[in-house]
Structure 1
């Protein structure tokens, strides 16, 4: 079976996905009517820049960069539309619509955001990451059709190693260990991958109403739980801490608190941002976390806050979301 076919079939979805995805797009205000924006080639290779998805009216949905020290300054905008974008080591991933229907694709990008290849995605894009080497891409999509879930959205993770061509079509076939014991369940959901290297990663797993930080190994095809109530992890450049959204009181219905977990001590630090952060945060540097806060269905800003719980939130990039620090 070809790589494209395997990615297409990975979700195992029913036709309900199309209707659900259309509804999601309408509710979220997914697409804008902004005209095309002319631009020069955008440099997404390592350097003193921030990469992000623009939410300003004149360049809505386009990928752009700003200088590291001037997030509110002039932005260089690419002629590339993405719902989610991320970059590392002269490689980038773009999750985007594919045609007029509610279908989507993964675009593999080079250091100037040129499209090297595209693959169909089965599901509505939600999260994206690139391994530190730039070789492995990961994505999360919303899907429907899982019999245990009553027609509601589930999440599914996929990975593509661009150096070897190997894929991970789903983590649901991996051997799972919960609190040191082998675990099986039909209701496993995974989302929000963050990479240690090309083989090892962290992500979120949910089962039986609980959400866990997991540590995964692609070669061994295993995942094990590390901590509870951790969603959308983001590993720091040093590899010592994880930023994540923590459900307030353990209940996502109450919102999320931006938090940092020290992997050596397992101590959690609530950051100075007290607004609900429904995002997979990224690291500005090893001492600062950045994340998107929505102002409306289509408008968002990227903020930053110290990772040690001190200070106060600061506006980093207005009219932006899905940030990545290109110097990490």
Structure 2
């Protein structure tokens, strides 16, 4: 076979393989766009971050609205959900401000973005993300937004992972791009180490205080931070993904219950005494829980038989009762409306 003919055959093979790959991708996408029989009812519609009391979340139900920000009445969490045109990997909202972390499957790092949206879901600003979206929070006033991404690794259970956590002031758009630049105070002294990582910010109502997880020397710590002073102070160990209660007296968090394993139990800690108790939920919760009110927590768990999906569950914050399904095929919940601060 002559060289030109070989080149022609090679070119034809490459084109054929490319067409086959494209067809498989389109077929998979079409399969994902089909509504799942027996799944949650989803309809396109308008969604605002203010107004009536509603529960917003990222829709994980199969169909054309998978990945869209959706909402249901807070009092009817399993009702038909209304899906917006905004797609997010992670989302949170408070006081009419939302943060939407976007990441297309297989996207390069520079394609990952944090969108700050107003109450009508209009994008006010966008910021490039240094890695894969992990956690997102908005302060109760709507002034500050925070997000965490995986720079390396893909889960908090991995042997090696690195995170990057940022805090944004939406009034002047000042960005603290990396909390690792804040001064760390541990046992009354300044602490420095090359392995410091932060994740899971949660805000207080004073527009300065926040809590987060600090990881260093194979230990995780609850830290209390000040945005204005650019400092964090360690409070307790074995605390991950904290969430401050609306009355600001307690922290909900996931606690590692087996060393070296990706097994966490959701706990609540009293900030005045640092005493803790587990929730009635005994399954491993790898999420930053949301306070629906002062007595109730919501969190995501993997959908049984569907590893690429999660359901939202709820449990009493005092450790009593039993877990119950809040809404299926959903993640990243946020309570909308005037009755909830959403910290």
The match for 1:13 is: none
Q: Is the 8 A contact 2:43 2:82 kept in 1?
A: no
Q: Give deviations 1:140-198, integer Å, cap 9, x for gaps.
A: 000039xxxxx943011011111022111111111111122221101000000000142
1:177 aligns with 2:182: no
What's the counterpart of residue 77 of structure 1?
Answer: 83
Q: Structure 1 CA distance, aligned partners of 2:335 and 2:208?
A: 22
Question: Alignment partner of 1:45: what SS?
Answer: coil
Aligned-partner Cα distance in 1 for 2:286–2:163: 15
RMSD: 2.1
Could you say if the C-alpha distance between residues 282 and 46 of structure 1 is closer, same or farther in structure 2, counting changes exceeding 3 Å?
farther
Deviates more, 1:107-116 or 1:190-199: 107-116
CA contact (8 A) 1:71 1:318 kept: no
Could you tell me which residue of structure 1 aligns to residue 70 of structure 2?
64
Which 10-residue stretch deviates more, 38-47 or 313-322?
38-47
Instruction: Spell out structure 1 runs of 4+ moving beyond 4 A.
Output: 35-38
Structure having the higher Rg:
2
Change (3 A) 1:301 1:144: closer
- Structure 1 residues 252 and 233: alpha-carbon distance in aligned structure 2, compared to 1, 3 A threshold: farther
> How many pairs align?
292
The within-5 A match list for 1:78-227 is: 78-97=84-103, 101-102=107-108, 103-144=111-152, 152-197=160-205, 198-227=207-236
C-alpha deviations, 1:92-151, integer Å up to 9, x for none?
Answer: 010002697333001111112222221111111000000011011100000039xxxxx9
User: 1:89 Cα shift?
Assistant: 0.2
Structure 2: 5+ residue runs without aligned partners?
A: 1-27, 36-41, 154-158
**Gaps in structure 1 of 5+ consecutive residues:** 1-28, 146-150
For residue 21 of structure 1, what is the aligned residue in structure 2?
none
Q: Give the TM-score, by structure 2 length.
A: 0.81
SS in 1 for 2:91: strand
* TM-score, normalisation: structure 1: 0.84
The CA distance in 2 between the partners of 1:252 and 1:321, in whole Å, is 26
1:273-312 correspondence to structure 2 within 5 Å: 273-295=281-303, 296-312=306-322
